[in-house]
Structures are given as structure tokens and as C-alpha cells.
Structure 1
């Protein structure tokens, strides 16, 4: 299961994953990320992972494929907060943080969900949540 969850900051795409993630669920998340990128110069992500068991083959291929298309667009991502108590996910997140220096990636334990949501909402100095304030009108 992968569900989008609401976040008060419009530039933040938040989601919760657990159990088995399907390709159609992952596509909804990708669509939400792309919509946020059309409307904001910088976006951030919050991914809450609770008891994630596996991704279907379709979801895995879609995830890898989309991830590869984003390598040239990493400057559009500001922060990624991963909320989990799963040690393996924390290890993977630490590795991603070292590999993708352009994006601030941080792991939060499950009881710090509110702190993760607040951290993801913060924008760098001079950036604004309203894209028109930055002169941004989509790609």
C-alpha cells in the first residue's frame, strides 16, 4: 500500500508506504511529484514507511525507471524526510544521502513524524513556497 497523505506546505509531497506497494500506487505518487514540480521551483518529499514488505515487479521497475529520469533534475528537490523504524530502510536512506548530495535526506524515527513534516516544509533562505514570488511559472 502506498497512499498520499496531506501536508500543509504545497511544495511537499507526502506519502505513506507499507505492506505491498503496487505499480498503480507508485504511479499516483509519481504523478503527485510531477504536479508539484510543475507548480514549484523546489519540492520536498516525506515518505513514511511502516512495515514495508515488498514492491511488485511493476512497482520496482517503475521506481527504478523514474529514479533514473530524475538524476538530471535533482536540483529541483530540496529535502526528503524518511520516517521509519525499520533498520534496513534507515541504512538505505543513509546510503542515498551520501550518493545524492544535491538533496538533503534525513531519517526520522516513527515517533518524530511531526518533526519530519516540519523539516521537509522548510525552504532555503530566499526561496518562497509561492512560485510566483520567485518568478517561477512551471517548466
Structure 2
């Protein structure tokens, strides 16, 4: 199950992932990310992953394939906040943070959800689309 949650800022794609994720659900996430990239110079992601059990094999292939296509396009990404209390997910996020230096990836415990929202909304200096707007719209 993958469902979108209200994004805390326009450049953020936010989702809650639980149970089993299918290729169709993953494609919806990819479509949302690609749409955000067309409208914003830098995109950030927020994923709540505590209920995640597994991805179907076609979803896993789609995820890996999409990830590989993005390696040459990392300048469009800024941050990824992963909200979870599961240690195995934290380890994967830490590994990805080391592998993809162009994107800041940070994990947050479930009780620190508001800190994750605030952090993922921040844009690098000069990348604010509206100078009066800090990007955070509350949650």
C-alpha cells in the first residue's frame, strides 16, 4: 500500500508506505516525482515507512530500474526524509546516503515526524521559488 499524504511544501513529494507495495503503486510514486521535477528545480521526498513489509518482485524491478535512471539526474533532488522506527530501513537509508552524495538522506523516528517535515521543506540557499516563503506550510 502506497498513499500520498499532503505535502508540507510544493517541492516535496510525501507518501506513506505500508504492507505490500505493487508495481502500479510504485509507478504512481514515480509519476508524482517526475511531475514535481517538471515544476521545481529541486525536489525532496518524505516517506513514512513503518508499515512496509515488502515490495512485489515487479515493484522491486521498477524501483531499481527507476533508481538507475536517476543517477545522472541527481541535481534535481535535494533531500529525502525517511520516517521509521524500523532498524533495517534505517540501515538501508544510511547506505543510500553514502552512495548518493548529491542527495541528503536522513532518517527520523516516528515521534519526530514534525522535525522530518521541517527538514525536508528546506531548500538550499538561492533555490527558494518564492523568497518570502521558507517552504514549510505546517502540518
* TM-score, normalised by the number of residues in structure 2: 0.91
The equivalent of 1:26 in structure 2 is 26
- CA apart distance, 1:53: 0.9
User: Is the contact between residue 10 and residue 129 of structure 1 (CA under 8 Å) also seen in structure 2?
Assistant: no
Q: How many residues align?
A: 130
* Helix, strand or coil at the partner of 2:74: helix
1:126 Cα offset (Å): 1.0
Instruction: Provide the residue aligned with 2:119 in structure 1.
Output: 119
CA RMSD of aligned residues (A): 0.8
> Contact conserved, 1:84 with 1:108, CA < 8 A, in 2?
yes
1:58: how far off? 1.2
Aligned partners of 2:6, 2:99: CA distance in 1, in Å?
28
User: 1:21–1:56: 8 Å Cα contact kept in structure 2?
Assistant: yes
Deviation at 1:129, TM superposition (A): 3.1
Alignment pair present for 1:85 and 2:85:
yes
Please give the alpha-carbon distance, in whole angstroms, between the structure 2 residues aligned to 1:4 and 1:62: 18
Is the 1:19–1:53 Cα contact (8 Å) retained in structure 2? yes
Q: Report runs of 4+ in structure 1 exceeding 6 Å deviation.
A: none
TM-score by length of 1: 0.91
3-state SS of 1:125 partner: coil
5+ long unaligned stretches in structure 1: 131-139
> Whole-Å Cα distance in 2 between the matches of residues 8 and 91 of structure 1?
25
Q: Which runs of 5+ in 2 are unaligned?
A: 131-139
SS in structure 1 of the partner of residue 46 of structure 2:
strand
2:133 equivalent in structure 1: none
1:96 alignment partner in structure 2: 96
8 Å Cα contact 1:49-1:83 kept in structure 2:
yes
